[in-house]
Amino acid sequence: MNNIINDKKDIPSLDSIIECARNAGKTAMRYFRHNDRMEMHNKLNDSDIVTTADNECESYIKEFIKSHYPSHSILSEESGETQGIATYRWVIDPIDGTTNFFSGIPLWGISIGVELNGETVIGVVYLPATDELFYAEKGKGAFLNGKRIHVSDQSKLSRSVISTGFPVDKDSNPDNNLDNLAAVLPLVRDIRRLGAATADICYTAAGFLGGYWELNLHEWDVNAGLLILTEAGGKSTRFRDDRNISIVCGSPEIHDQLLPLLNTSPRKV
């Protein structure tokens, strides 16, 4: 392994990542609620889409990384993994919540996590349409637009608003989270379905939500957000190992009440 990470010029700074996320957000906002300016294509099915904006944001972020940190690896939703020679890896989702984005709903975000030796050390999530910038560095706390955030101090599940989501293969796979929804819904103040895992996790980190769970996510959906959650005092668990990344998170008290309600066993389909 190359020792290039010892060169201070090659160590990513939080400010540079925030700059990258904000500039990518400007790119995306040129298309938001202007569907006539972009193309949309299905990937897996009608629920899984990609737009011109996704691709342009990804291209911008990747070019930013290559120009500033050319030795780093990149894992991105739309183009997969590019191997570098340093021990840093950027995990990016150029637009998380593309269905919201394409529908004109403002809950979508740009997620950039930076790993060192496999551990996330910087996380930035930017929601351009609401101008909400969440960020964290390992060991330094979590912030929203410059103000420190913390998970909810509500300890009662019955007084908590919880969010969830549904897997993109819900049309063909009956293991679609409805069993968990039925178990949780009667026990909470209410359920929300925000449509972007980055927003779900960061809103949980900020205490807007008490907790969140979802099946069948991917590393780019959660990498930055989970660091922000942890630095905000939150707790998370991967409760299934057969459906990609399936997580439950929240304040420690709400997390511990949610987890036993969820089906943690692989389901035969």
Residues 54, 56, 58, 96: which is the catalytic one? Answer: 96
The whole-angstrom separation of Cα 91 and Cα 111 is 8
Q: Is 4 annotated as a binding residue?
A: no
β partners of residue 192 = 163
Residues 85/71, Cβ–Cβ less than 8 Å? yes
Residues 17, 65, 95, 149: which is the catalytic one? Answer: 95
3-class DSSP assignment, residue 98: helix
Q: Give yes or no: 17 in active site.
A: no
Q: Is 96 annotated as a binding residue?
A: yes
Q: Is 77 annotated as a binding residue?
A: yes
Residues 56, 115, 214, 221: which is the catalytic one? Answer: 221
Q: Give yes or no: 200 in active site.
A: no
Query: Residues 37-60, buried b or exposed e (16+ Cβ, 10 A)?
Result: ebeeeeeeeeeebbbebbbbbbbb
Q: Give yes or no: 77 in active site.
A: yes
Q: Is 254 annotated as a binding residue?
A: no
Residues 93, 175, 219, 231: which is the catalytic one? Answer: 93
- The CA angle 111-54-178, to the nearest 5 degrees, is 70
- The CA angle 114-115-117, to the nearest 5 degrees, is 160
Residues 27, 98, 120, 198: which is the catalytic one? Answer: 98
Residues 65/90, Cβ–Cβ less than 8 Å? yes
Which is nearest to 203 in space by CA: 113, 106, 119?
106
Q: Is 137 annotated as a binding residue?
A: no
Q: Give yes or no: 93 in active site.
A: yes
Residues 54, 58, 77, 231: which is the catalytic one? Answer: 77
Detail the residues annotated as belonging to a binding site: 77, 93, 95-96, 221
Detail the residues annotated as belonging to a binding site for Mg(2+): 77, 93, 95-96, 221
Catalytically active residues, by annotation: 77, 93, 95-96, 98, 221
